[in-house]
Amino acid sequence: MADNAKPISAGDFKPVSAADRGKLDSEKISAPSLTFLQDSWRRLRKNRAAMICLVILIILFILAFGSGFFETHNPNATNPNLANLPPKIPGIDINGFNGTIEQSGTRVNAYVQAHAGNAYYILGTDYLGRDLFSRILYGTRISLEIALIASFFDLAFGVVYGIVSGWMGGRVDTIMQRIIEIMLSIPNLVVMVLLILVLKPGMSAIIYSIAITSWINMARLVRAQTLELKNQEFILAARALGESSWKISFKHLLPNLSSVIIINLMFTIPTAIFFEAFLSYIGIGISAPQASLGTLINDGQKNFQFLPYQMWYPAIVLSVLMIAFNILGDGLRDSFDPKGRE
């Protein structure tokens, strides 16, 4: 049969017609190739809740760290003659934002009674006549600074500690994990109280407390992922080619750990913000005259029955911060999850 087969000649081949070429073009894969980060960003943009929270956090960062441009008054300047004034926004005649209060069934202008002149306070004043809007901006900046500090220690200590522990393995890993277990057995509040015995209550004591304990969860998570990754084929191939451990860590391990690191970082930040607010609320955190969201809530609680806005405004800002970071963290977790790819 092979001897009777007709030989193939040049005439057997015909050029593709325009119609057939159109069909072939329509069958091509039109989607562009995307890197892991580009694909993750594409999926994150589809998550409306996460994107809204990202925008809210960007606005809060701009307002807090650019507070010098937005502050209407000095946040620490006291004026007892203008104490407990209600919020007043120029041009708005709505009860609660027009500077009026209710007395004996009628509404009176509190600013006229206090002889405030042309002064106005967007969110009112506290019991010492300090501008609540400026103090909330200052307190938000303190909270975000604490968040950035916690992020730094997570990245500088937690990631490095976890990679070294997971990569070395054996006795080194055992000793490093026993150290972490000992540190985990000591509550953060106890660490903070012990630091206050040496340092004064304030920013420095909170920073040292975060430096001691905040990175532990990151280290354990990175160590677990490193133990899994170091037996993968691409790591074994790099070791067979003679690459050093440091080069493998930075070139191969860190890119594959990036999603885990970013996600855990997003959940570490609200924990650090709440920790600072709680310490300031109970009086062992940020001390007067500096403002913190925790101290503002504590001050507002004293007059909550008669002047609830003094506690509501800082409480709302603190809640928005924590909710936004948590929802953004959920969105990042979904976008970085390979199983969720479309």
Query: Sorting pLDDT into bands at 50, 70 and 90, what band is 6?
Result: low
Q: Is residue 26 in some structural domain?
A: no
Do 160 and 245 share a domain, yes or no?
yes
Q: In the predicted model, what is the mean pLDDT of residues 42-69? A: 88
Do 57 and 181 share a domain, yes or no?
yes
Question: What is the pLDDT, as a whole number, of residue 203?
Answer: 82
Do 68 and 191 share a domain, yes or no?
yes
Do 91 and 184 share a domain, yes or no?
no
State yes or no: pLDDT of 4 exceeds 70: no
Q: Is residue 195 in some structural domain?
A: yes
**Higher local confidence (pLDDT), 37 or 172:** 172
Do 94 and 238 share a domain, yes or no?
no
Q: Is residue 313 in some structural domain?
A: yes
Q: Is residue 31 in some structural domain?
A: no
Query: Sorting pLDDT into bands at 50, 70 and 90, what band is 313?
Result: very high
For the segment 145-170, what is each residue's pLDDT rounded down to a tens digit? 888 888 888 888 889 999 999 988 88
The set of residues, in sequence order, having a beta carbon less than 8 Å from that of 141 and lying 6+ positions away, is 64, 65, 67
Query: In degrees rounded to 5, what are phi and psi of residue 166?
Result: -70, -35
Q: Is residue 307 in some structural domain?
A: yes
Q: Is residue 311 in some structural domain?
A: yes
Question: What is the pLDDT, as a whole number, of residue 52?
Answer: 95
Closest CA to 272 of 149, 137, 141: 149
State yes or no: pLDDT of 89 exceeds 80: yes
Question: What is the pLDDT, as a whole number, of residue 18?
Answer: 64
Closest CA to 296 of 144, 130, 114: 130
CA 10 to the chain's CA centroid? 67
State yes or no: pLDDT of 122 exceeds 80: yes
Do 190 and 300 share a domain, yes or no?
yes
Place of tokens 């690459």: 243
Task: Count CB neighbours of 98 within 10 A.
Answer: 19
**Distance (Å, whole) CA 227 – CA 38:** 27
Per the structure, the complete domain to which residue 98 belongs is given by: 86-114
Do 70 and 90 share a domain, yes or no?
no
Query: Sorting pLDDT into bands at 50, 70 and 90, what band is 312?
Result: very high
Question: What is the pLDDT, as a whole number, of residue 176?
Answer: 92
Closest CA to 313 of 48, 136, 177, 74: 136
Query: Sorting pLDDT into bands at 50, 70 and 90, what band is 5?
Result: low
Q: Is residue 317 in some structural domain?
A: yes
What predicted TM-score, i.e. pTM, was given to this entire model?
Answer: 0.80
Do 138 and 96 share a domain, yes or no?
no
Query: Sorting pLDDT into bands at 50, 70 and 90, what band is 30?
Result: low
Give SS3 for 30.
coil
- What percent of the chain lies above the pLDDT cut of 70? 88
What residues form DSSP beta bridges with 85?
Answer: none
Do 172 and 94 share a domain, yes or no?
no
Q: Is residue 10 in some structural domain?
A: no
| CATH at 272 | 1.10.3720.10
Question: What is the pLDDT, as a whole number, of residue 339?
Answer: 53
Do 193 and 226 share a domain, yes or no?
yes
For the segment 172-226, what is each residue's pLDDT rounded down to a tens digit? 999 999 999 998 888 888 888 888 888 877 788 888 888 888 888 889 999 998 9
Do 146 and 293 share a domain, yes or no?
yes
Query: Sorting pLDDT into bands at 50, 70 and 90, what band is 317?
Result: very high
Do 147 and 271 share a domain, yes or no?
yes
**Distance (Å, whole) CA 326 – CA 322:** 6
For the chain, how many structural domains are there in total? 2
User: What integer best gives the mean pLDDT of the chain?
Assistant: 83
